[in-house]
A and B are shown apart, each in its own frame.
Chain A
Amino acid sequence: MRFAFDDDQIDLRDAVRGLLADTCPPETVRTAWSNSTGRSDAAWGALADMGVVSMALPVDAGGLGLGALDWVLVLEETGRVALPEPVVETAVVGAPLLHALGCDVPAPPASIATLLDSGASLYADTAECLVVLDGDALRMVDPSTARLTAEVSVDRSRRLFAVEMAAGAGTVVATGPQARDAVAAARDRGALAAAAQLIGLAERMLATTVEYVSVRHQFGKPVGAQQALKHKLADVAVAIEFARPLVYRAAWSLDAGDPDSAVHVSMAKSQASDAAELAARHALQCHGAIGYSYECDLHLFMKRAWCLARSWGDARSHRDRVAAAVVDA
């Protein structure tokens, strides 16, 4: 038993953290709220150059051959900066899914959109490929042949689209049990990736709040010296610290092919969703009125957390999956 990342995994995380600090500051997220694509200009290209976009593809397919334990820390970093990009859908869900089913996936893959999480597809308008489960057939569709209707997310950088397609559009990639199993595995990767992003987001909101309440003075002292705020923020730290190991453990289970890996993913996603929502709630309260303003960056992170907490399954539905395996057995 050894529960720690190795040096290569930490080095990759640090490299991604450095790259995102340069290419995805809060201004980038804010710009993505109102630009035409909802995406960053520089960060996606830089991540592709580094190999992150193709990281989960095998080396002989031009990828980095990374497993969940390697990419889980990378996803945490993308959450920390609220990266406005389809990194979950492309790097972790779509590319390995298509590759595993024998499709030719370029490395780095162009961005991939899916209809595997909910009824709307994230960044479908800028994706070059749309992966859809249609009955028992998994199809690859060219988004330009589908009718896309823009939805409006509370997180304005999340460009969601309702998708209408002609019957039988695109190419069938897999059917039956093969499609079902591949999609189930892809959804687990999506849930784990979102959980990792939520850990990063929660840490970011906590760190930002600690910084703010340490300098904001009322009654002649920092508001962060008040016990009421300390206790809220300590609770956030507890929530994060006791969600994180479940995320890493689920990553290990996925890589190891543990028969219970889906349940482990659900444990991770339910705790990470709850932790990030608590972080958002307390971060806002501890900021006070400034946190309620549009100008303060906090809401960029808070709204992303609200969305991701319910993407790839919310806390309750994942607990339901744990209950089915553990409680009903």
Chain B
Amino acid sequence: MDLTFTPDEQAFRDEVRTWLSENAPSEPLPSGDTADGFALHLEWERKLFDARWSVVSWPREYGGREATLMEWLIFEEEYWLAGAPNRVTQNGIFLLAPTVFEFGTAEQQDRILPRMAAAEELWCQGWSEPDAGSDLAAIKSRAERDDDAGGWRIYGQKTWTTRGAFCDKLFGLFRTDPDAERHRGMTYLLVDLDAEGVTVRGVDRLDGDEGFAEVFFDGAFVPDADVLGGVNQGWSVAMSTTGSERGLTLRSPGRFMATAHRLVDLHRRCREEAAPDLRDAVARAWIQAEAYRWYTFATVTRMVDGHQPGAESSLNKIFWSELDVDMHRTALDLLGSGAELDEGAEGATDAGLWMKGYQFALSGPIYAGTNEIQRNIAAERVLGLPRK
């Protein structure tokens, strides 16, 4: 056990910190889930890419720095502590990219990854459908073989597609064998949202941003080159992505440590009027953010030793998503009656971002598999409780 950072890790941290202090926007950008905000976030992503900070853990040929997992965690700590913008590229770089690295052909990797890293192509996720949410294997969207054209024609509908209205491409699951049992006969396809036969309709989220979309497919063509990981192999390919969504990559500890820092700062400004139990709640938030940080260092050490995280990533997802809700709820309690002042209100503390953040935090226990599903997975696959 050595809980200090190596000289290389420390040098990496210093380099990240210096660059961010000179380059990160001093004021928060408007939400990346609105059209105007999205454009500003894209500019930021390209700035990150030009300085090789957009995908630090990737190979250099795709725009990365070949950073270790530990360095990636350090990057994330510094990134969020600097108050840098949310990553509108996250569903590509954190969810699709690990799958492309694992299952993609060399041609797919060369074609997809550099453009993703440069934010020239923005990716959204096509998992959920109107009748398939927690029960992902219930999807009905289908792909029919078109041998003449050398590919597939897709039909059906995806929904709750984050930033779908602003993205260029969608990765999703489609049924390719209607006779197969539920978890088989699906294929992971990469779909051009500009293709003929694709209709994208933005859907407002509860916070008012056009952060969602519905995507309709009516015979759109997907060439064979855009099948990821083999025909009818979609479920196992997709599960590798949901693993990263719940586990290490989507929500790093740096985000929650940064929120804990901001919460301490908010408490400092509000403590004259704050109830004493809120001091305890802030301390608890800090402790739990630290817990997630050290848990993750242990996880990464195991990965460096060659162990792949399994079902325990469900415990992880439950913990960070509920911590995020608790921290924001504590902030609202500190703000008292001022908490309701929304983004743009003159008198709002911190530009109303705590209420905005609370609404976003509330999506955490729902997306990436609801926490009820995660508890089932943890109980059955970590603890070994009977399925039936």
Contact = CB atoms under 8 A, between A and B. Distances in A.
Interface stretch (A89-97, A127-135, A167-175, A218-226): A218-226
B283 A238 contact: no
B385 A210 contact: yes
B2 A231 contact: no
Interface in B228-274: 264, 267
A233 interface: yes
B318 interface: yes
A3 B264 CA distance: 27
A227 interface: yes
Interface in B303-357: 304-305, 312, 314-315, 318-319
Interface string B87-101: 000000000000000
A3 B1 contact: yes
Contacts of A213: 385
B318 A238 contact: yes
B378 interface: yes
A245 B291 contact: yes
Nearest to B5: A1
Interface in B1-46: 1-6, 9
B286 interface: yes
A213 B6 CA distance: 46
Interface of B is mostly: helix
A3 B301 CA distance: 6
A323 B1 CA distance: 27
Interface centre among A210, A237, A241, A242 (most CB of B within 10 A): A242
Contact of B3 (A1, A326, A327): A1
A241 to B, nearest CB: 5
Contacts of B376: 227, 230-231, 234
A1 B295 contact: no
Given A323-B282, A327-B267, A242 B383 contact: no
A242 B9 contact: no
A186 to B, nearest CB: 23
B9 A235 contact: no
A69 interface: yes
A184 B82 CA distance: 36
Given A214-B386, A230-B380, A4 B283 contact: no
Nearest to B282: A327
A270 B280 CA distance: 11
A267 B386 contact: no
Contact of A1 (B70, B284, B374): B70
A1 B388 contact: no
A149 B244 CA distance: 58
Q: Which of B280, B300, B379 has the most CB of A within 10 A?
A: B379
A327 B286 contact: yes
B356 to A, nearest CB: 24
A221 B388 contact: yes
Given A4-B301, A241-B315, A245-B295, A231 B375 contact: yes
Interface on chain A toward B: helix, strand, loop, or mixed SS? helix
Contact of A3 (B3, B286, B291): B3
Interface in B64-93: 70
Nearest to B376: A230
A278 B271 CA distance: 30
Most B CB atoms within 10 A — which of A1, A222, A327? A1
A180 interface: no
A89 to B, nearest CB: 26
Nearest to B3: A252
Nearest to B294: A245
Contacts of A252: 1, 3
A213 to B, nearest CB: 7
Interface string B352-388: 0000000000000000000010111011101111111
A206 interface: yes
A67 to B, nearest CB: 10
Contacts of B294: 3, 245-246, 248-249
A210 B297 contact: no
* Interface-centre pick from B294, B300, B372, B388 (highest chain A CB count, 10 A): B294
B1 A242 contact: no
A271 interface: yes
A322 B283 contact: yes
B226 interface: no
A326 B289 CA distance: 13
Contacts of B297: 1, 3, 245
Given A3-B297, A231-B375, 16 more contacts: A1-B297, A2-B301, A3-B298, A3-B300, A214-B384, A221-B386, A227-B376, A229-B379, A234-B318, A234-B378, A234-B383, A248-B294, A249-B294, A253-B3, A256-B3, A320-B280
Q: Closest 6 A-B residue pairs measured CB to CB? A: A230-B379, A245-B294, A323-B283, A234-B375, A234-B378, A3-B297
Interface of A: 1-6, 69, 206, 210, 213-214, 221-222, 224-225, 227, 229-231, 233-235, 237-238, 241-246, 248-249, 252-253, 256, 267, 270-271, 316, 319-320, 322-323, 326-328
